[in-house]
Amino acid sequence: MATEPPAASKLVYLAELKTRLRELRERQATDMLIRMSTSAVGETFRGALKGSSTSSSGHINIKRLIQGFENLRKTSQQLNDLHELPEELMNVDVRRLLRGYEKLIE
C-alpha cells in the first residue's frame, strides 16, 4: 500500500516544531547554567579553600574543610531538586513529536 508523501505545510510545521524544541532545550540549559553559576556553590567552595580553612599556625583546619564540603553536598542536592521545566514544555510529549517527525521524513 503506497502512502502519500506529506504535504509541504506539514513538513514546514514539523520543522518549526523541531526548531522550537531545540530553542527551548538551549534556553533550559542556559537557565540551569545561570542558576548554577549564581548559586552559593561557588561561594561555599571558595570559602572552604580560602585562608579561613587554615589556622594561624598554617595548619589546615579539618573541621572547617569538612563543614565546607558538607555545605557543598547539601547545595548540590538542592540544585538536583530544582529540575523545573519551562511552562511551554509542561505537557509536551517530546518522544511522540520526534517519532511523528521521523515517520514523516522517512
Whether pTM exceeds 0.85 = no
71-78: long-range contacts (C-beta < 8 A, 24 or more apart)?
Answer: 71/40, 71/44, 72/41, 72/44, 72/45, 72/48, 75/39, 75/40, 75/41, 75/44, 76/41
pLDDT tens digit sequence for 11-54: 888 888 888 888 888 888 888 777 777 665 555 555 545 554 44
Can you give the residue ranges of every domain in the chain?
A: 25-105
Cell output for 91: 505537557
Tell me what the pLDDT averaged over the chain comes to: 73
Distance, in Å, from the CA atom of 21 to the CA atom of 14, rounded to the nearest integer, reads: 10
